[in-house]
Amino acid sequence: MNANILTGFNYVSGALRYALQLDNHEIILDLLKLLGDMLNFYRKYWRVPVDKLYEDALRTVKRPEERLALAAIEAFGRDMLEAAICFSESASAINPEVKYRVEYLSFLIRGGRIEQARQFLETLGAQFPGNQSISDEQFACSVAEKFWAYDYYDLLAEIHSRHTPNVYLEIGVATGKSMALVKQSTTAVGIDPSTAAREMLAYLSPENNPQFYRMTSDDFFANQDVEKAMGKRHFDVAFIDGLHHFDQVLRDFINLEKFAGPSSLILIHDCLPIDRRVATKERATLFWTGDVWRIIPCLQTVRPDLEIVTLPLPPSGLALVRRMNPASAVLSRHYSDIVEEFEKMGLPESWEDRCELLAVNSDQSAFRVDHFFPKGGWP
């Protein structure tokens, strides 16, 4: 088994064993979900046989509902949707705590049973009024109805596999999942004040050992030799997925554009909120996009020279921005005024108006990601 993959699994497995010792049911299910997602991730994107890791995880837990919860995630990763729903339903029958019932609800949604999920939502909402996890699944139902089935990790995987960048820079590493898609030939740079360290990541690329900077993106651009970190003057692909505040995203864009080349591409996550309740600057829901969405009308208005398209990729949209100009200073020169102006903007209530404001391409059949990449590869 690849050493990087084992490093991540050992980290999460150790946390699971500790949670089992404490008998912390809340954390146990979260860690089982993470382990299951890791198994599916490496199987899907890296074609790595991980059956032994699944068997090891299954032996670690003893309660039947915990084993069924893990089996449900494993079945879902193998496209056995009915089995996943059945396992999850059985787990919630054994343990009727709200967390297991919400997990069953989640599988109903992922399995395409939206009407059944909404009916179950009403039942749970009446039994557990005000529960944030249940409210999140209401948002998930709407996402399943309005967004593409194509996941944003699928797009990132396609970029790294078919259009492998020479330099990839990521702001907001979190668990390392998107960074773990990076191929061997790419110089990868990850920035995150909380988790940008190998020993703190669940997901690691089997081929690549990125440079991690455990600091804010502001500190990175102010105090690090960015060109030295990248190994060249320009990045090819950069992914903004850090603090979900418009003013910070705008600063990240300004800082990145200084190191953009003629073919560079910037990806911005969380710019298509499914509901106005998740789109506020201050967090009021578990599922939360912040006010990142403001960056789209901002750039369209102030920088009409940029090419921008937002894709309705679950769970919260992904914008692709190209044709950057490192010599442009309009955003930095008027930063405070721009932030003040666009923080006054309200998010449209209707989905159609929201999509128009946020430059959404709703026609999946017409979208070609190849259009955003240089013919013949990165220079």
CB 224 within 8 A of CB 271: no
* pLDDT tens-place string over residues 101-143: 999 999 999 999 999 999 999 999 999 998 989 988 999 999 9
Residue 106 in tokens = 């989640």
C-alpha 311/C-alpha 271 separation (Å) is: 9
Overall size of the chain counted in residues = 379
Which stretches does DSSP call E strand in the chain? 167-171, 187-191, 211-213, 235-240, 260-269, 307-311, 318-322
Let me know if residue 231 belongs to a domain: yes
Buried residues in 19-57 as b, exposed as e (16+ CB within 10 A) = bbeeeebeebbebbbbbbbbbbbbbbbbeeebeebbeeb
Residues 52, 188, single domain; the answer is no
> Do 285 and 327 share a domain, yes or no?
yes
Domain extent at residue 310: 152-372
**Alpha carbons 179 and 205: distance in angstroms, whole number:** 7
pLDDT > 90: percent of the chain: 90
363 belongs to a structural domain: yes
Residues 128-186 pLDDT 10s:
998 989 988 999 999 999 999 999 999 999 999 999 999 999 999 999 999 999 999 99
pLDDT digits (tens, 9 = 90+) for 38-52: 999 999 999 999 999
Q: Which of 137, 209, 151, 217 is nearest to 180 (CA)?
A: 209
d(CA 53, CA 59): 10
Residue 10, in any domain of the structure: yes
Contact 235, 262 (CB under 8 A): no
pLDDT tens digits along 14-23: 999 999 999 9
pLDDT of residue 369: 87
Residue 378 has pLDDT above 90, yes or no: no
Q: Quick check: is 379 in a domain?
A: no
Q: Residues 127, 165: one domain?
A: no
Element (H, E) at 289: none
- CA 29, distance to chain mean position in Å, is 20
Q: Where does a domain end: 146, 173, 191?
A: 146
% pLDDT > 70, the chain: 100
Q: Which amino acid is at 332?
A: S
- Give the model's pLDDT for residue 196: 82
Structural contact between residues 240 and 253, judged by C-beta atoms closer than 8 angstroms? yes
Residue 357 pLDDT: 98
